[in-house]
Structure 1
Amino acid sequence: MIKTPVSRRRGLPWAVPVLACLVVIALALVFAVVRTNPPERSQPLQISTSEWLPYISPDLPDSGPVAQLLTEVFGRAGYTPEFVYSNWPTAEKEVTSGATIGMAPVVVSESRASFALYSDPLLEFRYTLIGKKGEALDSLSHRSDLTGVKVARIAGYQYWEQLEDSGATFTDYPSSLAAFTALKDGEVDVVAEGSVAGQAVLESAEFADDASLYGEVQPASDLTSSTQGLHLLMKDTPEGRETQQEFNAALAELRGTADYEELVASLEDTSQQVILTGASGGAVDLFDDKGAAVGSTPSGTTGSVLGWPEGSPDRETLVEVKILDGPYRGRLLSARLDDMEIDHA
């Protein structure tokens, strides 16, 4: 005769509450781990940012040097970043709301002290004042304040204290290009921007003027320039603090390597000024980004090459160049390699 498992039935009244307690404890432990640990490494980390040439942009190769640097550092920590582009004020709101894990690249700012954690510096960044070359710009280097000077700022940027307290008249613009366009049109006297980023705008195809007409205030002073670090910003939470520690450890590991030096070097002003010289002093043909002829410019026209072709180019290879003077001034076009001479002036 098969015996009925009475003992199992009899155990149910005490087994159920014990099992329930174990489930509750297990769920609590899982909840605690999820809340205190960084995001799952298999999930992309969303990083808020804004297009900022030449540092980061969806239109740059691999989204630009800063994006490559962040990807490399996070990769060493076991994460994959995903960049969410908007503007800087929106990026900050996304971090404070928890919609994204952080924003980059940013400078340290007192206005964010209530909520921000910063990584160690990714790289150095130099703010400066850029204006039209001439006596008015040169005179700024000798001043103790900027009273009466019209300064263009970019919305969402955090500027240095000496500039903010300089007595200048500030006007905010939605983008760096808009600020430099205002400078071109005489609406402002100078633009407060990074040295490298400002040069990138001046040499871009979108800026409709001759880049060689503009320069920085020289010699620089604490009033007209500030060197700071660029950082990854995270919200000050247990999750943010642990992510910060992992990120800083991976960044320290990357520093000093050839990969890091190469990324930083790519942010230097690598443009080369050239003189376009046609055969026998004739006109130089210019082409658009599809290789179609758009016209010609006189021999002696100067340009700035933003990147030389790789591999083994021949004499007919087209090279992109920002035209600095002549009838196509300000345009980003292409010319044959054979029609270019390095300007050593």
Structure 2
Amino acid sequence: MIRTPARHPARAPLPTIWLVLTVIVILVITAVIVRADPPERSRPLQISTSEWLPYISPDLPGNGPVAELLTEVLGRAGYTPVFVFSTWPLAERDVINGASVGMAPVIISDSRAEFALYSDPLLDFRYTLFGKSDDLVKSLPDRTDLTGVRVARISGYQYWDELDESGATFSDHPSALAAFDAVADGDADLVAEGSLAGWTTLAGPDFSGDVRDFSVASPASPLTSSTKGLHLLVKDSTEGKRLLKEFNEALADFQATEDYDRLLGQLSPSTTPVVLRSPDGSSVAVQNPDDDSVSSTPSGTSAVVLSWPEGELTAQSPIEVKIIEGPLRGQVRLVRLGDVEISHA
């Protein structure tokens, strides 16, 4: 019997085997990277902040225009922010100890230089000095220092150099409301606050004083006013630098859109929702801008601000509003700032 030699499977050349193995390894590594990257980039990022009406607040829709802006920009970069509200000093501590990736909105400050990196400006705002409408406020534009003047500041705020070096006596308060209450009670002479934020606090329902007692220095001077950019702050680290690079690129793209303009519109006086409310609960006097006739609307009437006067606002400034309920619904009227309460509903 003739035995036929057993046939063995043909063996692939050694170089071919190594080529196949190399391709498999590359595919595996690529799959791991592709699968791992989205969870890393879409992870929640904790942003520490503090209530600062009308910019950011847990009581505002979407946590406020600045929170909406940050959410949109970080979303474009692949992240989801989670906002934690506390105080500005605690927010800063959270960034330093790594509990939060960043805090916002803040201005650039020398006191944070050792640990902070800043994004490109989110938007601009203007600091100013508020006080009761008396000789002190009227004298501010002509002063070169604030020696002997008591200025109420908000804890955690960073102010401008001219104010810090003005010679004023400073007192720190936990909130803008507490600072304005200090002036209303005679415990301070002035409050240093953002212009829009200050008027928002004064016109709000929680302020115990009368908005009509307050005004700001006009015309403004470097001593009484400063325009600053608001930024996202992150810790100076490799991760922080990478995040800011992605954030700034997404911010530039977003700032070129109509949605960015819409958000900024929420931070301008026009189209601000308000309630027309007299201090004693009586009807609110309103003036027809076409014929100067004066009528009234019930206290508590809802309206929307159409335009505010140019320049500095005072308690007696006529504000143009469109009334959206009651007997004058749909009509445009002028009303005093003292009878206007900004709505946060």
TM range (shorter): 0.7 to 0.9
**Alignment partner, residue 213 of structure 1:** 213
Amino acid at match of 1:300: A
Q: For 1:297, which of 276, 282, 290 is the aligned residue?
A: 282
SS of alignment partner, residue 139 of structure 2:
helix
1:343 and 2:326 matched: no
SS of alignment partner, residue 53 of structure 1:
coil
1:59 and 2:44 matched: no
Identity between Structure 1 and Structure 2 (%): 54
Structure 2: how far apart are the matches of 1:39 and 1:296?
55
Matches within 5 A, 1:1-345: 40-270=40-270, 271=272, 297-298=282-283, 300=285, 319=302, 336-338=325-327, 342-343=333-334
Structure 1: how far apart are the matches of 2:246 and 2:44?
15
- CA 1:50–1:166: 2 relative to 1, 3 Å: same
SS of alignment partner, residue 103 of structure 1:
strand
- Point out 4+ residue stretches in structure 1 off by more than 4 angstroms: 271-276
Structure 2: how far apart are the matches of 1:194 and 1:224?
11
Contact 2:56/2:64 (CA < 8 Å) preserved in 1? yes
Q: Report how far residue 40 of structure 1 moved.
A: 1.6
TM-score (norm 1): 0.72
SS of alignment partner, residue 256 of structure 2:
coil
Structure 1 unmatched ranges of 5 or more: 1-25, 277-283, 287-294, 303-314, 326-333
TM-score (norm 2): 0.72
- Deviation track 1:212-261 (CA, whole Å, cap 9, x = no partner) reads 32111111111111101000000000000000000000000011211011
Q: Report how far residue 198 of structure 1 moved.
A: 0.4
Q: Report how far residue 42 of structure 1 moved.
A: 2.8
Structure 2: how far apart are the matches of 1:183 and 1:88?
22
- Deviation track 1:20-67 (CA, whole Å, cap 9, x = no partner) reads xxxxxx9xx99xxx9xx9982232110000011000000001100000
Amino acid at match of 1:50: S
Amino acid at match of 1:338: P
Q: Report how far residue 297 of structure 1 moved.
A: 0.8
Contact 1:38/1:239 (CA < 8 Å) preserved in 2? no
Structure 1: how far apart are the matches of 2:265 and 2:236?
32
SS of alignment partner, residue 343 of structure 1:
strand
Structure 1: how far apart are the matches of 2:39 and 2:150?
45
Structure 1: how far apart are the matches of 2:191 and 2:174?
13
- CA 1:273–1:57: 2 relative to 1, 3 Å: closer
Contact 1:217/1:224 (CA < 8 Å) preserved in 2? yes
SS of alignment partner, residue 233 of structure 1:
strand
User: Number of paired residues?
Assistant: 275
- CA 1:272–1:255: 2 relative to 1, 3 Å: closer
Structure 1: how far apart are the matches of 2:85 and 2:233?
15
Contact 2:275/2:302 (CA < 8 Å) preserved in 1? no
Structure 2 unmatched ranges of 5 or more: 1-28, 288-297, 305-313, 316-322, 337-345
Q: Report how far residue 203 of structure 1 moved.
A: 0.8
Contact 1:275/1:342 (CA < 8 Å) preserved in 2? no
Q: Report how far residue 133 of structure 1 moved.
A: 1.3
Structure 2: how far apart are the matches of 1:299 and 1:100?
46
SS of alignment partner, residue 75 of structure 1:
helix
Computed over aligned residues only, the root mean square deviation of the Cα atoms, in angstroms, reads 3.3
